[in-house]
């Protein structure tokens, strides 16, 4: 074998190892991205649930019911009670 063939063979081997390494890194990052996407959808679901719960607890009617249970008299009834 001559030197040119050895050089090109060595260069081919180095490039093959480099491409294989890049492929392995890309596969690992793709798996991490899938995990991140799954976690993101879970967090979005939890956020929507918490927002619904927040709105249910702090809506005008919910606050009015709580205030009346704590003894508040609505203004329309309180004014005439004097």
* Ramachandran region, residue 71 (left: φ > 0; alpha: ψ -120 to 50; beta: rest): left
pLDDT score at 41: 97
pLDDT score at 80: 58
Q: What is the pLDDT of residues 35-67, one digit of tens each?
A: 999 999 999 999 999 999 988 888 888 888 888
Domain boundaries, the chain: 20-70
What is the band of 6 on the pLDDT scale with cuts at 50, 70, 90? very high
Contact 9, 3 (CB under 8 A): no
CA atoms within 13 A on the CB side of 40: 6
> Residues for the chain: how many in total?
82
């Amino acid at each position: 074998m001559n030197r040119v063939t050895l050089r090109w063979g060595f260069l081919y081997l180095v490039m093959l190892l480099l491409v294989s390494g890049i492929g392995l890194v890309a596969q690992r990052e793709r798996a991490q991205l899938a995990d991140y996407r799954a976690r993101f959808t879970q967090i979005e679901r939890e956020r929507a649930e918490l927002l619904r719960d927040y709105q249910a607890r702090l809506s005008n009617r919910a606050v009015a019911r709580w205030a009346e249970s704590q003894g508040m008299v609505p203004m329309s009834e309180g004014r005439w009670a004097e």
